[in-house]
Chain A
Amino acid sequence: MFEFIKEFFIEYNDMFPVIMLSLKVSLTSTLIASILGMVSGVATALNEFKLKRTLMRVTNTLMSLPPVLIGLLVYMLLSRKGPLGSLGLLFSPTAMIISQSLLVFPIIFGLTVSNISESAKEIQLTCMSLGASKNDTLKAIISECRMQLLSIVTAGFGRAISEVGAVMMVGGNIKAKTRVMTTYIALETGKGNFNEAVFIGIVLLFISFFINTVLYRLQRRE
């Protein structure tokens, strides 16, 4: 048994950096997109302005944007001749984080606006009637809607960790540098190494299962 585990680890040694990088890139981009998306989402939910409907229609479109398009956009921005080319970020994890943040932001923003608008207004009125500052009101709304927001963040993370197109284009799938789970699966499948591909696929499923279990537990505790 021990031998088996040892062999297993040796054989699959090169997969762990891949898994770690996947988690790092997707968690970071989800965090960035969540903070920006929630704050702007709550602000949009609370205010009525002229172009709100148009904004939401655009957001809904962006929510289903193919990752390769984001990849293309970020690629053009970061490529040597692009406006941000001097930063030399193309084919780096940072480029992947930028792409995934852009990919996840519309999801967090859009779902926040559509899911919490009604309760956010109610909470805002009550907070104001009790003399809360704007900051306190924002905090109260986020804290009161935490369960909805947590599901939204999970949806955003699911999108990030499972996409191939953007990380492939701006990361380049470079071994030990920008290779993540999804690009690994694509590559190994292409080479006919189904075992490795399936293993990583199972890891992906497991991560998603784990996150959903945590979420379920939290929801039940409420």
Chain B
Amino acid sequence: MVITVENAIKDYGDSRILDIDNLTIKKGIYVILGSNGSGKSTLLSCISGLNSLTSGNILYNGNKLDSSIKNSITILLQKPYLFRKTSYENIISGLKYKKINNKEIENRLNKYIHYFNVEELLNKKSHWLSGGERAKVALLRTSVLETEVTMLDEPTAAMDIESSMKAEELIKNLSKDNRTVIVVTHDVYQAKRIADYVIFMDKGKILEMGDKDGVLGNPKNKLLKQILNI
């Protein structure tokens, strides 16, 4: 899917949260970097249709958002809500909503569950899980949907190093078959490991974007240089 963002403005009261002239997203892994409050989560929620722009357009293969497009986009929120049920029920809840049959549910589960050692957690109620465990369950719940576009808002922020590495493998797997994955992270090393393209945002604007080597290897922006220690 090709997503184009044109002249996108998002205001909350008097403050401008997003101000993007032009952004095109195709297949591959896009990593969004940027400081706190720079509008990363807002951009994702606008693309997913959970939030709406004050003005401007977001087009999907040239079309406005409709229910079939919505069905092919998934977002893992920065603070995902886990249902007060078991981890297992949480992970398959999206598949249930989409009325996927039980056999396929088992297939998808087996395909993704092995990234993390969560087998023992499957029957545990979600409110007893630790922060990192919750993050894994939430990431699995989004991943098993295998939508054409998957957006992940800081999926590994609560995970230990080893689990983050596993999550990165999972993310790479999600981008197979010409799919699109957009990942927000504060970890530049993670960006280096997984990104095909990097978008750098500050104060609601996109200051740099392009393929990973260009943006991370030879940044023009001062702040980004500072972050990258160049």
**Is the beta-carbon distance between B81 and A131 smaller than 8 angstroms?**
no
- The residue on A at minimum CB distance from B45 is A125
Complex Cα spacing A222 to B83, Å:
13
* Contacts A125-B77, A136-B97, A144-B83; A130 near B141 (Cβ below 8 A): yes
**Is the beta-carbon distance between B141 and A131 smaller than 8 angstroms?**
no
Q: Which of B48, B83, B98 contacts A129 (CB 8 A)?
A: B48
B220 at the interface (CB under 8 A from A): no
The residues of A that contact B142 with a CB separation of less than 8 Å are: 129-130
**Is the beta-carbon distance between B74 and A130 smaller than 8 angstroms?**
yes
Q: 1/0 per residue B54-98: CB within 8 Å of A?
A: 000000000000000011001111011101100000000110011
B57 to chain A minimum Cβ distance, whole angstroms, is 21
Complex Cα spacing A126 to B70, Å:
14
- The residue on A at minimum CB distance from B79 is A122
Q: Which of A123, A125, A132, A222 contacts B50 (CB 8 A)?
A: A125
Complex Cα spacing A122 to B70, Å:
19
The residues of A that contact B8 with a CB separation of less than 8 Å are: none
**Is the beta-carbon distance between B81 and A125 smaller than 8 angstroms?**
yes
The residues of B that contact A126 with a CB separation of less than 8 Å are: 77, 80-81
The residues of B that contact A55 with a CB separation of less than 8 Å are: none
The residues of B that contact A122 with a CB separation of less than 8 Å are: 79, 81
A49 to chain B minimum Cβ distance, whole angstroms, is 16
Q: 1/0 per residue A139-171: CB within 8 Å of B?
A: 010001000000000000000000000000000
**Is the beta-carbon distance between B70 and A131 smaller than 8 angstroms?**
yes
Complex Cα spacing A158 to B76, Å:
42
Complex Cα spacing A127 to B74, Å:
11
B158 to chain A minimum Cβ distance, whole angstroms, is 16
B198 at the interface (CB under 8 A from A): no
A128 at the interface (CB under 8 A from B): yes
Q: Which of A122, A127, A129, A136 has the most CB of B within 10 A?
A: A129
**Is the beta-carbon distance between A132 and B97 smaller than 8 angstroms?**
yes
The residues of B that contact A136 with a CB separation of less than 8 Å are: 97
The residues of A that contact B145 with a CB separation of less than 8 Å are: 130-131
- The residue on A at minimum CB distance from B71 is A131
A54 at the interface (CB under 8 A from B): no
A133 at the interface (CB under 8 A from B): yes
The residues of B that contact A132 with a CB separation of less than 8 Å are: 94, 97
Complex Cα spacing A136 to B98, Å:
10
Complex Cα spacing A50 to B77, Å:
28
- Report which A residues bind B (CB closer than 8 A): 119, 122-123, 125-133, 136, 140, 144, 222
Not counting A122-B81, A130-B145, A131-B97, a sample of 5 additional A-B residue pairs whose C-beta atoms are within 8 angstroms of each other reads A129-B48, A133-B97, A144-B83, A144-B84, A222-B84
- Report which B residues bind A (CB closer than 8 A): 48, 50, 70-71, 74-77, 79-81, 83-84, 93-94, 97-98, 141-142, 145
Closest 6 interchain pairs by CB? A130-B94, A126-B81, A132-B97, A129-B75, A122-B81, A131-B97
